[in-house]
Amino acid sequence: MNREFLLSFLRDLAANNHKVWMDAHRGDYHKARAIFTELTADLLQRSQRFEPGLTGLTPGDVMFRINKNDRFQQSDEPYKRHMGSGLKPGGRHSPWAGYFVAVEPGGETYVGAGRWMPEPAQLARIRQEIHYSPAAFHALRQSPALLREFPAGLDMSQSLRTAPKGYDRTDPDIEWLRLKSFFVWRSFADEEVLRPDFPDRVVQAWQAAQPWVQFLNEAMTEG
């Protein structure tokens, strides 16, 4: 699994992010894509052992396209600077919490788990679950196993400025109820991505996050 070639291709793509260059290097793209597909297949196979919701999925179900399709992107570059996968029940575009990996040069590779920006109805259910079961929520987000793999803990960057509708701003858990995303992540240096044990470290991180992902998916499930 030549991850050095993958990083090299993505580095070159970042410096030449336009269709003319991509068309001229289509063969290198397919080679890099095959390397990332192999990595994803390995991670998916191993993750299916501890996450039943991923059973039956293939790399094609979980890998994201390299073409940008987000109309909210500020950059006019046509291609993403990374290759990524979202391992979630139902595939990469499903509304459930799951596991994520994106390989990008310059120390921008990241591994994550959870639900980023859930839909309003899902968000309401997660907040309700936190309000009803705060002890379980705090035990999971402060789990030693989770924090060993994701030392920064829950990402607090996406949050309301005030209390969400229906909650008191003096609620003891208001900083958590204000969150709009419920996600943990960590980055890896290029040197770490190239190490033989990189896939092991990704799976280890995801396995530590499995109870957290399960909590979110149970909370988002309509009763």
> Residue 66: pLDDT above 60?
yes
The CA–CA distances, whole Å, from 66 to 22, 33, 54, 121, 123 equal: 11, 9, 22, 29, 28
> Residue 69: pLDDT above 80?
no
**pLDDT > 70: what percent of the chain?**
97
152-168 per-position pLDDT tens digit = 999 999 999 999 999 99
Domain boundaries, the chain: 3-220
112-141 per-position pLDDT tens digit = 999 999 999 999 999 999 999 999 999 999
Mean pLDDT of 200-207: 98
Decide if domain 3-220 falls under CATH 3.10.310: no
